[in-house]
Amino acid sequence: MIISINTENPQQKHLTKIVETLLDGGVIIYPTDTSYGYGVSLMNKDAIDKLYNLKNQQKNKFYSFILPDLKKITEYAQVSDYAFKALKYHLPGPYTFVLPAARVIPKQLWSKRKTVGIRIPDNNISISIAKELGHPIVNTTVLDKRGEGVFNPDLIDKETASKIDLIVNGGIITPRLSSVVDLTKNSPEIIREGAGPTDWFQ
């Protein structure tokens, strides 16, 4: 099933359908500010297992979480004063911030270092979905057969589409990667230079 949704003001009826799909353990494809991603509910372990199988990846593969804002950040990650300042300054935006995982996060999603990746994209659709859901979306990039991120929902291949419960069409996205910054230590570590400027951390 494909839903075409307004990029600026996502329709409530569509958000309701998307969230129902996530709560029922479904896997969606939806837009962020950097690419289209697979999304499942953080609180549905069966759906998380589906995601690992879909990506043909081992458990404990590093996935990021989409949050609508920073109001409940401490429920999902351990955040120092410095880290919170960094998040508040840079988000929403094309960043993934690595933080120590809070206990509420399913252990199947912890990295070997017991960390998680936090994202608040500059994208009304993904933020609206996460807000309506009431808890984070587990997110990982949709890749095409060349291993590159998908930025046009019309180019999602039929084999991939057949394994998805719902595709959220939010138009074509400008191709880019998020900047990944590790905030688990006393000083920040830039893991990947991406679309988000990293001068603040240097």
CATH code linked to domain 2-201: 3.90.870.10
Q: Is 52 left (phi over 0), alpha (psi -120 to 50) or beta?
A: alpha
Residue-wise pLDDT tens digits, 10-38: 999 999 999 999 999 999 999 999 999 99
Q: Cα–Cα distance between 136 and 74 in angstroms, integer?
A: 12
Give per-residue pLDDT as tens, 99-141.
Answer: 998 888 776 665 566 888 999 999 999 999 999 999 999 999 9
Q: Which amino acid is at 27?
A: V
* φ and ψ at residue 52, rounded to 5 degrees: -60, -45
DSSP secondary structure string for all residues of 104-146: TS-GGG--TTSEEEEE--S-HHHHHHHHHHSSPEEEEE-B-TT
**β-strands 95-100, 28-31 pairing:** unpaired
Q: pLDDT grade, residue 144 (50/70/90)? A: confident
Residue among 121, 67, 46 nearest 91 (CA): 121
102: DSSP letter: P
Percentage of the residues of the chain whose pLDDT score is greater than 70: 94
Question: What pairs with residue 116 in β-bridges?
Answer: 99
Q: How far apart, in whole angstroms, are the C-alpha atoms of residue 26 and residue 92?
A: 26
- The tokens for 60 are 């404990």
What's the alpha-carbon Rg for the chain, to the nearest Å? 16
For the chain, what's the residue count? Answer: 202
Q: Tens digits of per-residue pLDDT, 47-96? A: 998 998 888 766 556 789 999 999 989 999 999 999 999 999 999 999 99
**Per-domain residue ranges for the chain?**
2-201
pLDDT at 87: 96
Q: How far is CA 32 from the centre of its chain?
A: 7
